[in-house]
Amino acid sequence: MPKLDRYLTREFAQSVLAAFVVLGLISLGGVFADLLSEIARGRVPAGLVLSQLGLRLVNFLPILLPLSLMLGLLLAIGRLYRDSEMPVLASVGIGPGRLLRPLMMVVLPAVVVVAICSLWLGPAAQRLGDRMVWEANRNLVITGLEPGKFIALPNNGGVIYVGAMSPDGTRFSRMFVHRASGNRIDVSTSMTGALSLDADGSRYLKLEEGFRVEGPAVAGRDFRLMRYASNELRLPDIEGKRAADDPVVLPTPDLLGDARPEAAAQLHWRIAPPLLTLAFALIAVPLARAAPRQARYGRVLVAFLGYLVGMNLTVLGTQWIEEGRVPAAAGLWWLLVPLLAFAAWLYMRDGSMKRPRAPKAAA
């Protein structure tokens, strides 16, 4: 590899990596905040926070990598212009077109990573995450129940306390359960208890040798005290399991033969990120052209706005396919093909000089 290509490849890769780290940390905070809100609502068990965070980041990579690549290339090439390195290269016959080889050495691996995440790893991570949440919600141990602590059940199902618990989370002792329904409260205590599951996935807590008090939540004397040998309490329903034929979790090859509009929309949503990555990378080269004293971040803002427009059109086009307003055969090609052609035209046109006009002949 020529020394110039090694130098430019290293500069491009370092800038893209720095942009990816910065944007990744920002995105990590947003994904973590969304995950915490779902944990607070009881949709995701607290014990799965780290695994769910990692799986969701895999799904977020096809959105994050194109922006990181474009901004990183924009900053790296802009620095070459600002430090007068590009004029020096142009003086020895090396123009922007010569950047294609080192540029592709950085862009093509990024496109491959985006394609793998979008077409394969993302759906697999979605399926694994849904299965982990479903199975965890069926077990009180993973949903956060710990001996000696008051724990709120999901979906405002009440508060539960256990003094001791078996290792598999199915047997309990010294239990306290508080539930509220409308303006009535229900408090149950027992010496022992067990967790059981129905065939449809419903969870029941069987209490043995205990007391139950039922009465008004605010004011009144309408209380009833009961002593029982056995009492079964139905726990709140867990989050519904996604259907097996949901296009969101189907592997990409299964979407090819699916005639549903939802499947076509999901297929084009997975195809779009690699092509958008290539288009944004090519646009970054002509967009980075700047004079030595020109403002540095104006073109970065233009690139970011262009990225937002492209991603919003992708989301809007996916919704149109799902609603049947755009034929499945057209998909997102009406956006991707013109964008790729425009990016290639800008790249080829960058650095070209117009031919001088021939002087008009004298009359």
Note the pLDDT tens digit of each residue in 254-281: 888 888 889 999 999 999 999 999 999 9
Pair of tokens at residue 273: 């990120």
- Provide the 10 A C-beta neighbour count for residue 141: 17
d(CA 80, CA 82): 6
279 phi/psi in degrees, rounded to 5: -65, -45
Taking residues 172-181, report their average pLDDT.
Answer: 84
Note the pTM of the prediction, 2 decimals: 0.74
Tell me if 58 sits within 8 A of 125, measured CB to CB: yes
Of the ranges 220-224, 292-296, 301-305, 313-317, which one carries the lowest mean pLDDT score? 292-296
CA–CA dist 175, 147 (Å, integer): 10
Contact at 8 Å (CB) between 195 and 138? no
What is the four-CA torsion angle of 239, 240, 244, 248, rounded to 10 degrees? -60
Per-residue model confidence (pLDDT) at position 353: 42
> What are the b/e assignments for 325-357, b being 16+ CB within 10 Å?
ebebeebbeebbeebbeebeebbeebbeeeeee
If one compares 56 and 170, the residue with the highest pLDDT of the two is 56
- Is the confidence at residue 237, as pLDDT, over 80? no
Packing angle, helices 261-287 and 49-82, rounded to 10: 30
Q: Residue 355: pLDDT band by 50, 70, 90 thresholds?
A: very low
How big is the chain, counted in residues?
A: 363
Mean pLDDT of 59-79: 90
Whether the predicted pLDDT of 58 surpasses 80: yes
Average pLDDT for 36-56:
80
Q: What is the mean pLDDT of the chain?
A: 82
Bigger pLDDT: 239 vs 264: 264
User: Does residue 10 register a pLDDT over 50?
Assistant: yes
Q: Which of 154-158, 177-181, 294-298 has the highest mean pLDDT?
A: 177-181
Please enumerate in sequence order all residues whose Cβ is within 8 A of that of 356, keeping only pairs 6 or more positions apart, or say none.
none
pLDDT band at 143 (very low <50, low <70, confident <90, very high): low
- How do 224-234 and 203-216 pair as beta strands? antiparallel
> What confidence tens digit (pLDDT) does each residue in 17-29 have?
999 999 999 989 8
The rounded percent of the chain whose pLDDT value lies above 70 is 83
Statement: residue 149 has pLDDT above 90? no
Q: Is 171 exposed, middle or buried (0-12, 13-18, 19+ CB in 10 A)?
A: middle
Other beta carbons within 10 angstroms of residue 280's beta carbon come to: 26
Of 196 and 332, the one with more pLDDT: 332
The yes-or-no verdict on residue 352 having pLDDT over 60 is no
Tens of pLDDT, residues 91-104: 777 766 677 888 89
Residue 165 has pLDDT above 90, yes or no: no
Lowest mean pLDDT among 43-57, 80-94, 116-130, 334-348: 80-94
Tokens (6 digits) for 8: 């430019």
pLDDT band (50, 70, 90) for residue 44: confident
Contact 238, 153 (CB under 8 A): no
Compute, in degrees rounded to 10, the torsion defined by CA atoms 327, 328, 331, 334. Answer: -30
